[in-house]
Structure 1
Amino acid sequence: MKKLLMILTSHADLADEKEQTGVWLSTFTDAYYAFIKAGFEVTVASPLGGRPPIDSLSEQNDHLTDEVKTYRDDFMAQMEMGNTWRLEEVRSTVFDAVYIADGHGALWDLADNPQLGKLLYECLLNETPVAMVGHGVAAVFSLAQLRPTVLNELRITGFTSTEEALLKRHPYVPFSLTDRLKTSGAQFSHAIIPFTPHVETDGIFITGQNPASAGMAAQALVERIGMGQLQCG
């Protein structure tokens, strides 16, 4: 059975410490059920382990997907998310692919994470596919600390500055993901209409722009795994 690692943020506080964030729930559920349906063994991890925070905005009716509704009645899935492994605990495990969910917290604890950087570096060396969605794309900055040229001309997408402003979170984040990707040398692209699906694939990386892109990115990862990629861990 193929093994897949899902990584979620553990960070809850936005910059003003009054607003709360966390995992954008649908980017966990939409991908999780795609992987389970495909028959993969899924391990869920986060920097701190245990139950990660969930962005309350992602639980509002406007942002619910069918998979989120399924998750609410799925005890096993809730157990998986509520008892995540610490990243350092899964470093010795072999995985066939990695998926990193969305959530503003990723700008804090996944963008400068030595454990994550090492894991992604091993994926790069072994050509193991990695999918990242929304703010989870910030994980590439952890890899860039070990491979500074990794972003040069890399075709990539992620949560845009326009989407950040429309969500009214732009005053509370530590940096603009769009701007940092561009200044790091990446070829950044996005959907014309904000909050609509957009996915880019380049090398081992599959990136989704926003929560609406999670299912598409997950399916692309499932198809890539089926091609018999090597492993990281």
Structure 2
Amino acid sequence: MRKIVIGAGVVAALTGILLITLPSLLNAAGLHPDYQGEEVSLVGKRALIITTSHAILNKPGETDGDPTGVFGSEMTEPYYEFLEGGMQVDIASIAGGEIPIDPSSFYYFIKSKADERYLKDEEFQQKVAQSIPLEQVDVSQYDIIFLAGGWGAAYDFAESSALARLISDAYYAAHQPVLSGVCHGPLGFVKAEDSQGNLLISGRAMTGVTDKQVEQLGIGLTPYHPETELRKAGVEFESRTAFIDIFANHVVIDAEKRFVTGQNQNAGAEVANKAMLIIAGRGD
């Protein structure tokens, strides 16, 4: 009996050690890398983060499924990067109102430092609870537009004609805002058109979630997959791989320096920082 008790104690201790060290191990493997970008001061400039309004992970047409939404860090990482650069940051969503956040993104072993900061930030939480409806966004007010990803965006970003128009309007705006996004966020670019009615992103270098990552995670039921849809839109798709693609990371800036995209949840801070650097480099 004594041996059994000791054995159980050892197992419990080892399990406890594993649980405590798991976040650090995942970080070392590539999840939410500690990105140290260049310092940027954009006081007086404004950024807009746009998220999904879709809250259920299900097959198209079904009403039941696991809860989903925006992946936490894909909203929180850019938010604080913009904020620390002196920018005013607003939050919008496809339908407006309370934004659904994928609960798995706040699991203790997955959540990022920015997520932890968000969970104590009442002002940010209020913006998420009362997000601006997409139809009320005035693109002339923003210097950077950032499309946050997560599984929810796989349902409503590519389907939203309002988002496609917003991206087209922003692209042609006189002050030339930088258009950016990570993970499933770039799905919001796929139906935007140029002034001749052609797809705006055709021929541009971009990235987003890979088909390999979708397959590895076993979530193929969503109606749109970023790599597939970006390639269909004529994008020169770039990506990196890892033993599991959720640990990979890649950021792409198109030749015109109008679009900055990141492969997945690991790229939020880097994409935001590089978008700010483009704005700062213009000297305006």
TM-score computed with the length of structure 1 as normaliser = 0.91
Deviation at 1:96, TM superposition (A): 1.1
Deviates more, 1:221-230 or 1:27-36: 221-230
The aligned counterpart of 1:168 is 218
Deviation at 1:152, TM superposition (A): 2.2
CA distance in 2, matches of 1:104, 1:142: 18
The aligned counterpart of 1:211 is 265
CA distance in 2, matches of 1:178, 1:9: 18
The aligned counterpart of 2:58 is 15
How many pairs does the alignment contain? Answer: 229
- Alpha-carbon displacement from aligned partner over 1:174-231 (angstroms, at most 9, x marks no partner): 133212221221111111211222100113110000000111101111112213488x
CA distance in 1, matches of 2:119, 2:75: 13
The aligned counterpart of 1:225 is 279
Query: RCO (CA 8 Å, sep 6+): is it higher in 1 or 2?
Result: 1
8 A contact 2:252–2:261 mirrored in 1:
yes
Deviation at 1:123, TM superposition (A): 1.9
CA distance in 1, matches of 2:274, 2:199: 25
The aligned counterpart of 1:152 is 202
The aligned counterpart of 1:122 is 169
CA distance in 2, matches of 1:179, 1:142: 13
Going from structure 1 to structure 2, the CA distance change for 1:92 and 1:206 (only over 3 Å counts) comes to closer
Q: Which amino acid aligns with 1:166?
A: Q
1:89 is aligned to 2:136: yes
TM-score computed with the length of structure 2 as normaliser = 0.76
Deviation at 1:133, TM superposition (A): 0.6
Deviation at 1:48, TM superposition (A): 1.2
Q: Which runs of 5 or more residues in structure 2 are unaligned? A: 1-43
Going from structure 1 to structure 2, the CA distance change for 1:183 and 1:118 (only over 3 Å counts) comes to closer
Q: Which runs of 5 or more residues in structure 1 are unaligned? A: none
Q: Which amino acid aligns with 1:201?
A: I
The aligned counterpart of 2:6 is none
Q: Which amino acid aligns with 1:210?
A: N
| SS of aligned partner of 2:180 | strand
1:184 is aligned to 2:233: yes
Deviates more, 1:145-154 or 1:105-114: 145-154
The aligned counterpart of 2:251 is 199
| SS of aligned partner of 1:130 | strand
Q: Which amino acid aligns with 2:278?
A: R
Describe how 1:52-63 pairs up with structure 2 within 5 A: 52-63=99-110
Alignment RMSD (CA, Å): 1.8
Deviation at 1:163, TM superposition (A): 1.1
CA distance in 2, matches of 1:92, 1:199: 24
The aligned counterpart of 1:25 is 72
Deviates more, 1:121-130 or 1:157-166: 121-130
Deviates more, 1:24-33 or 1:114-123: 114-123
Deviates more, 1:60-69 or 1:91-100: 91-100
Q: What percentage of aligned pairs have identical amino acids?
A: 27
| SS of aligned partner of 1:192 | coil
Deviation at 1:81, TM superposition (A): 1.4
CA distance in 1, matches of 2:276, 2:208: 20
Deviates more, 1:6-15 or 1:23-32: 6-15
Deviation at 1:92, TM superposition (A): 6.3
Q: Which amino acid aligns with 1:175?
A: Y
**Alignment counterpart, residue 44 of structure 1, candidates 88, 91, 102:** 91
CA distance in 2, matches of 1:191, 1:175: 20
The aligned counterpart of 2:190 is 141
Bigger radius of gyration: 2
CA distance in 1, matches of 2:222, 2:198: 23
CA distance in 2, matches of 1:74, 1:153: 40
Deviation at 1:167, TM superposition (A): 2.0
Going from structure 1 to structure 2, the CA distance change for 1:60 and 1:150 (only over 3 Å counts) comes to same
The aligned counterpart of 1:5 is 48
Deviation at 1:13, TM superposition (A): 1.8
